[in-house]
Amino acid sequence: MNPFQSVQNFIGKANTAFSKVRNAVNTVQGLASGDLNALGFMKGVRGANLPAGAMPTFKTRTDARISTTRGENDWRVKLSVPPQYTNASNSLLSPLFTQTEGAMVFPFTPSILMSHTASYNAMQPIHTNYAFQNYQHSSVDAITIAGDFFVETAEDAQYWIATVHYLRSVTKMFYGSGPERGSPPPIVRLSGYGDYVFNNVPVVVQSFQVELPTDVNYIKTGLSDSGSTSSNALPGSTSGDVGWVPTQSNITVTVMPTYSRGQVSKFNMNDFVSGKYVTDKKGFI
């Protein structure tokens, strides 16, 4: 190959390379000018992860509150306020009426331990390999309910105080004076998880535990420091009465299902197996 042909080949390769560079520049210019908008490419690129008008948006935050929603979808675990507390709506228990319509509600899904027992007595004759099991009785054991309470407002703190006062009340008999004097602690109704788990189960509260942790903040509720009644005042409070409630705590309640002799005497096993007792609100579990 003569030198002239070599120069021509070099020039040809240079022109090819220049054409590729020019095409690339044209493509970039087309993207920058939005020539590909017709294909929807630039619109998608410009709009990806960008708010309208390129202005940042902010999410509105609200305080967590104890839900008061009721109805057919309300499956929260709750204990009813007994009818013996005739004046409870105007006492420290009033938040249970104003917020959850006459029930002590666990605001968050609690942990529940439930067990049933069938007792047998083993009889084993001499020189036999297997014992004979003689049935004695069946029982529904105590139910333990442990739930967290998160308090963020003075209203939530009032509900926490009402809950503790409620548990203190239902674990005491009607002693001393009063129309119900001499009566044992009242029977309350346990409900939760819809119609097929706990539906109006009659129970007595055997014990409860309230946690007052040291590593959380406490919220003040009651009357203002000046002594004037505020919107956070609890019924029955006097000037200067206040309470401090933990922002996070755990309340554990142990209840025992309790049925009357009249109900038990009319118990029908076939109706129980068929599910008749599930929705009639007699509370058999």
pLDDT of the residue at 36:
46
Q: What is the pLDDT of residue 225?
A: 37
Which residues of the chain fall short of a pLDDT of 70? 1-15, 17-18, 21, 24-25, 27-72, 86, 88-90, 223-240
Query: Quick one: pLDDT at residue 37?
Result: 52
Model pLDDT, residue 72:
61
Based on the number of CB atoms within 10 Å of its own CB, is 116 exposed (0-12), middle (13-18) or buried (19 or more)? exposed
> DSSP for the chain?
--HHHHHHHHHHHHHHHHHHHHHHHHHHHHHHHTGGGGGTHHHHHHHTT--GGG----------------STT----EEEPPTT-TTGGGSTTHHHHHTTSSEEE-SSPPEEE--EEEEEEEE--TT-SSPEEEEEEEEE--EEEEEEEE--SHHHHHHHHHHHHHHHHHTS---SSSTTTTPPSPPEEEEESTTSSEEEEEEEEEEEEE---SSS-EEEEES-TTS---TTPPTT--TT-EEEEESEEEEEEEEEE---HHHHHT--HHHHHHTTTTSSSS---
pLDDT at 203: 96
d(CA 264, CA 138): 12
Q: How far apart are CA 88 and CA 100, in angstroms?
A: 13
pLDDT of the residue at 23: 73
Burial 200-212 (b: 16+ CB within 10 A, else e): ebbbbbeebebee
The alpha-carbon radius of gyration of the chain (Å, integer) is 36
- Closest by alpha carbon to 155, among 81, 105, 237, 219? 219
Q: Give CA–CA dist 261/223, Å, rounded.
A: 47
